[in-house]
Amino acid sequence: MSTTRDYTDLFLEQDGAVLTITVDRPEVLNAQSRIMREELDQAFYDAAQDDS
């Protein structure tokens, strides 16, 4: 992914063409929040735009 973003509830790691998204909200057992859903939407959008 060419764009680097800071996420509150996610860690993103790219290795070649593989993007790994890790949810990081252990205090609530990784339950979804509005912020996390928005971050996931953005991460998926960015990944879809990446040609690598």
List pLDDT tens digits, range 1-52.
545 679 999 999 999 889 999 999 999 999 999 999 999 999 999 999 988 7
CB 25 within 8 A of CB 36: yes
Q: Which amino acid is at 4?
A: T
Domain chopping of the chain, boundaries: 10-49
CA 24 to chain centre: 10
| DSSP secondary structure code for residue 10 in this structure | E
Report the pLDDT value the prediction gives residue 51, as an integer from 0 to 100.
86
Report the pLDDT value the prediction gives residue 3, as an integer from 0 to 100.
53
How far is residue 23 from each of residues 35, 36, 40, 51, 52, measured CA to CA in Å? Answer: 12, 8, 9, 24, 23
pTM: 0.80
